[in-house]
C-alpha cells in the first residue's frame, strides 16, 4: 500500500497545478488550470535553487532568528511572506525570512523524495502546500510535518471548510492562507436585458438558476456560464457545497453509493442540455468566453475576479453573489471552495517555537498583514480580517460592492470535505464519468467504473 501511495504521489507531481490565487499565477487571464481550475503560471518558472537548504544549515549553526520558507509566485505568495516578515519584525527586529522561490511541482517532488528517502534534512522550516494535496502528503509521510494543533494558532478563527483541508485524524497540520471561496459572477447589464438582477441569483437553487438562465438565453442569446470540457471543477464545487466528498472518512471511495454525486451529475447534465451552460475546449477559451461577453457570467473560486477585471471596458457591469444550492440534498448550501493553499511546518524546522509564533502572529493573527496584501488579490480565510476597513471598501468594477468582506463571509460558511490520498485520481475518474454520462451512458455504469478505477489505483 505504501508503494501505491508513493507511486500516486510521484504521478500526481506531474499533473498538479497551482490552486486558486494561491497557485501563484500573476496573470490569471492567460494561465491554464489543471486539477483545480486555477492559474498555473509556475509551470514556466525556473527550478528552485539550493540556496534555501544552505541557508537553513547556516541558520541552525548560528542560532539566529531566521526561518527558511519554500513557496511560489513572487507577486502573490512570496509577497505575502515578505509582508508577514515586516509585520513580525515590528516586535521581533532580529527576525528574518529566507524565502526561496519553489514552484509547486518542485515542492511536491522535493517533499516526496525527502520523505521516501528518510532524509528530511533537505526540507525548509516552512513550506506552502496545495490544499487538495495536504492530506495526501500528511497521511503518506506523517513524520515529515509537525502537528500544529497546540502551536498557539487559533484555528477556530478560520473558515472550517478551509481548515479541514489540512486536518488529519483530528489534528491540524496547516495554517490556512489564501481564499478559494466560490462566487457567482454576473454581467448586470446582460441580466437587465432579461429583467433580472443579481438579487435573482442570490440564495437560489440550481433549478432556479436554470430557469433564470433560460430567460437570459431567450432575451440575449447568451448562456449564463461556460466550463471547460473534460474538467470537473463545477462538479467538485457542487459536491462540496453539500458537504459531500468522493471518499469516506476511512479513506474508501465514496462514488457508487454517493447520492449527492448522482444529483450533482444530473444537475450538470440539465445545465448543459438546457443551453444555460456551454462547454469550451481550453482554459483560454473559458476565460475568453466571459471576458468577451459570449456568456453572462461564471462560477468559480474568488481568484477568478482577477481574470474578469482584465475586461476594463466592463467595469461597473459585474456583480458577485453566492452559488446555487443543490435541490433535494440534505446539507445543501450556497457555499463552496475551489483552490487555495496552506502553510506547513516541516519536521526539519530549526526553531519550531519561532515558526509557531511567527505564523500565529501573522497569518493567524494580523489584520494589518491581510490589509497589506489585499491589493495583490490575497483574500483571507481568517475571519477577523473581514472586519477591517480595507475589506469594507467598495470595488468600482463590481458596482461599488464591498466584495472582499463578502467573500470572507462566504468562506466562513463553506462545508468541510474529505480529500484523502487519492483525491486527484478520483477527480479524473469522475470527470470521465460525467463526460460519458452527458454523451448518453448510464449514470450507474459510469459511477461503478469510476469507483473501480479509484479502487484499482488504491490497490484494493
User: Do β-strands 96-101 and 66-71 pair in parallel, antiparallel, or remain unpaired?
Assistant: parallel
Could you tell me the domains of the chain? 2-180+339-388 (3.40.190.10), 183-336 (3.40.190.10)
At residue 168, the 3 state secondary structure works out as: strand
Q: 211 is written with which cell numbers?
A: 430557469
pTM, 2 dp? 0.78
pLDDT string in tens for the chain (460-residue length): 433 444 444 444 433 333 333 333 333 333 333 334 333 333 333 333 444 444 444 544 456 799 999 999 888 899 999 999 999 999 999 999 999 999 999 999 999 999 999 999 999 999 999 998 999 999 999 999 999 999 999 999 998 889 999 999 999 999 999 888 999 999 999 999 999 999 999 999 999 999 999 999 999 999 999 999 988 899 999 999 999 999 998 889 999 999 999 999 999 999 999 999 999 999 899 999 999 999 999 999 998 998 899 899 999 999 999 999 999 999 999 999 998 899 999 999 999 999 999 999 999 999 999 999 998 778 888 989 888 899 999 999 999 999 999 999 999 999 988 887 888 899 999 999 999 999 999 999 999 999 999 999 888 5
Segment 187-230, tens digit of pLDDT: 999 999 999 999 999 999 999 999 999 999 999 999 999 999 98
- Report the interhelical angle of 443-458 vs 2-15 (nearest 10°): 110
The count of other CB atoms within 10 Å of the CB of residue 416 is 16
Q: 18 is written with which cell numbers?
A: 497551482
Q: Give me the helices (H) in 141-258, please.
A: 160-163, 188-193, 206-220, 233-241
Q: 337 is written with which cell numbers?
A: 471552495
Q: What CA–CA distance (Å, rounded) separates 287 from 304?
A: 9
Q: What CA–CA distance (Å, rounded) separates 341 from 330?
A: 28
Amino acid at each position: 500500500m505504501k508503494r501505491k501511495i508513493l507511486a500516486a504521489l510521484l504521478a500526481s507531481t506531474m499533473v498538479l497545478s497551482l490552486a486558486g490565487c494561491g497557485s501563484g499565477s500573476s496573470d490569471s487571464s492567460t494561465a491554464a488550470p489543471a486539477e483545480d481550475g486555477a492559474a498555473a503560471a509556475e509551470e514556466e518558472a525556473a527550478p528552485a535553487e539550493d540556496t534555501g537548504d544552505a541557508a537553513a544549515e547556516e541558520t541552525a549553526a548560528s542560532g539566529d532568528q531566521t526561518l527558511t520558507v519554500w513557496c511560489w509566485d513572487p507577486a502573490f505568495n512570496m509577497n505575502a511572506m515578505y509582508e508577514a516578515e515586516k509585520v513580525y519584525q515590528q516586535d521581533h527586529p532580529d527576525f528574518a525570512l529566507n524565502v526561496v522561490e519553489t514552484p509547486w511541482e518542485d515542492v511536491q517532488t522535493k517533499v516526496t523524495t525527502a520523505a521516501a528517502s528518510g532524509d528530511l534534512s533537505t526540507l525548509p522550516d516552512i513550506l506552502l502546500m496545495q490544499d487538495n494535496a495536504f492530506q495526501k502528503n500528511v497521511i503518506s509521510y506523517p513524520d515529515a510535518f509537525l502537528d500544529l494543533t497546540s502551536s498557539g494558532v487559533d484555528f477556530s478563527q478560520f473558515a472550517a471548510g478551509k481548515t479541514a483541508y489540512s486536518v488529519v485524524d483530528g489534528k491540524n497540520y496547516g495554517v490556512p492562507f489564501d481564499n478559494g471561496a466560490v462566487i457567482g459572477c454576473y454581467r448586470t447589464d446582460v441580466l437587465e436585458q432579461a429583467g433580472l438582477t443579481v438579487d435573482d441569483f442570490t440564495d437560489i437553487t440550481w433549478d432556479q438558476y436554470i430557469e433564470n438562465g433560460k430567460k437570459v438565453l431567450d432575451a440575449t442569446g447568451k448562456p449564463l456560464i461556460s466550463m471547460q470540457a473534460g474538467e470537473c471543477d463545477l462538479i467538485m464545487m457542487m459536491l462540496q457545497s453539500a458537504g459531500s466528498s468522493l471518499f469516506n472518512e476511512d479513506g474508501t471511495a465514496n462514488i457508487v453509493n454517493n447520492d449527492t454525486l448522482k444529483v450533482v451529475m444530473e444537475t450538470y447534465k440539465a445545465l448543459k442540455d438546457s443551453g444555460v451552460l456551454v462547454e469550451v475546449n481550453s482554459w483560454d477559451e473559458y476565460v475568453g468566453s466571459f471576458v468577451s461577453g459570449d456568456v453572462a457570467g461564471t462560477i468559480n473560486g474568488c481568484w477568478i475576479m482577477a481574470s474578469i477585471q482584465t475586461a476594463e471596458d466592463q467595469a461597473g457591469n459585474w456583480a458577485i453573489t453566492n452559488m446555487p444550492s443543490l435541490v433535494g440534498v440534505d446539507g445543501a448550501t450556497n457555499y463552496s471552495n475551489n483552490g487555495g493553499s496552506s502553510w506547513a511546518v516541516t519536521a526539519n524546522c530549526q526553531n519550531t517555537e519561532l515558526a509557531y509564533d511567527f505564523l500565529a502572529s501573522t497569518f493567524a493573527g494580523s489584520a494589518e498583514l491581510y490589509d497589506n496584501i489585499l491589493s495583490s488579490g490575497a483574500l483571507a480565510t481568517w475571519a477577523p480580517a473581514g472586519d477591517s476597513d480595507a475589506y469594507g471598501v467598495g470595488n468600482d468594477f463590481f458596482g461599488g460592492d464591498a466584495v472582499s468582506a463578502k467573500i470572507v463571509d462566504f468562506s466562513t460558511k463553506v462545508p468541510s470535505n474529505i480529500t484523502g490520498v487519492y483525491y486527484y485520481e478520483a477527480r479524473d475518474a469522475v470527470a470521465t464519468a460525467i463526460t460519458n454520462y452527458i454523451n448518453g451512458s448510464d449514470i450507474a455504469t459510469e459511477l461503478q467504473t469510476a469507483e473501480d478505477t479509484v479502487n484499482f489505483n488504491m490497490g484494493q
